[in-house]
Amino acid sequence: MSDGLTLDELLLGHAAGTLPEALDLVVRTHLALSPEGRRRYAIYRALGGALLETIEPVPLRADAWERLERALDRADDRRVEAPRATAAERRDIRVPEPLRPYAPEGFERLPWRNLGPAMEFELPIATPGYRARLIRLKGGKGIPRHTHRGHEITVVIEGSFRDVQGVHRRGDLVIADATVDHSPVADEDCLCLAVTDAPLKLTGPFGRLLNPILRI
């Protein structure tokens, strides 16, 4: 990552309540869909709680390091229960809870915009400088090759896609930035939430031609 935005930073920001709305939405959607994400987040919270409970404020006692290590051991041992899916989520697996305000009648009823290889719906997010979009790709279809002027944070809601970073499945959170040049392709029909903080830059042979049309 060129300037250090990582999943850990996003989870910490979410725990601290400091993320802009668009980034918080993408993290909440990841947590709603990913048991692994919930486990990781729960460990963060348990660790933070253990440290607060056991570490003295300055000046540090002579045994502070041992106490910290013991606290970390206890946090590792602690059985952290990940939040379970709510009854509503089990009834409607298609719209994760964080996205319900934007798709109250389901994804199918949204006014999708046809972009050729993809369909998109832009969420009305009030975070200056950010765009949050739902993107649908049919299996085998792809987004033209591009890189990023800022960050692109994607959560897979359904299906899967692949790019230079691997195969991404339901619940996965994928961060791409200026160091990533990719052409994501859906393995199967795929629906994603993608948040960007700067326009993408198409890098394929038709990039300049497509750029004004396909502003993904």
Which residues contribute to the site for Zn ion (CB under 5 A)? Answer: 152, 176
Contact assessment for residue 210 and residue 144, using Cβ atoms and an 8 Å cutoff:
yes
Cα atoms in the 13 Å half-sphere on the side-chain side of 137: 25
Contact assessment for residue 41 and residue 209, using Cβ atoms and an 8 Å cutoff:
no
Distance between CA atoms of residues 7 and 21, nearest Å: 16
Shortest approach of Zn ion to residue 179 CB, angstroms?
A: 11
Distance between CA atoms of residues 148 and 176, nearest Å: 7
Taking the least distance from each CB to Zn ion, the nearer of 29 and 154 is 154
Taking the least distance from each CB to Zn ion, the nearer of 102 and 161 is 161
Shortest approach of Zn ion to residue 202 CB, angstroms?
A: 10
Cα atoms in the 13 Å half-sphere on the side-chain side of 154: 25
Shortest approach of Zn ion to residue 192 CB, angstroms?
A: 11
Taking the least distance from each CB to Zn ion, the nearer of 64 and 198 is 198
Shortest approach of Zn ion to residue 134 CB, angstroms?
A: 15
- Sequence-ordered list of residues with C-beta below 8 angstroms from that of 40, at least 6 positions apart, any chain: 7, 11
Contact assessment for residue 114 and residue 120, using Cβ atoms and an 8 Å cutoff:
no
Taking the least distance from each CB to Zn ion, the nearer of 176 and 190 is 176
Taking the least distance from each CB to Zn ion, the nearer of 14 and 146 is 146
Tokens 């903080």 found at = 197
Shortest approach of Zn ion to residue 163 CB, angstroms?
A: 8
Taking the least distance from each CB to Zn ion, the nearer of 97 and 187 is 187
State how far Cα 162 lies from the chain centre: 16
Query: Among 168, 197, 164, which residue's Cα sits nearest to residue 34?
Result: 168
Shortest approach of Zn ion to residue 203 CB, angstroms?
A: 10
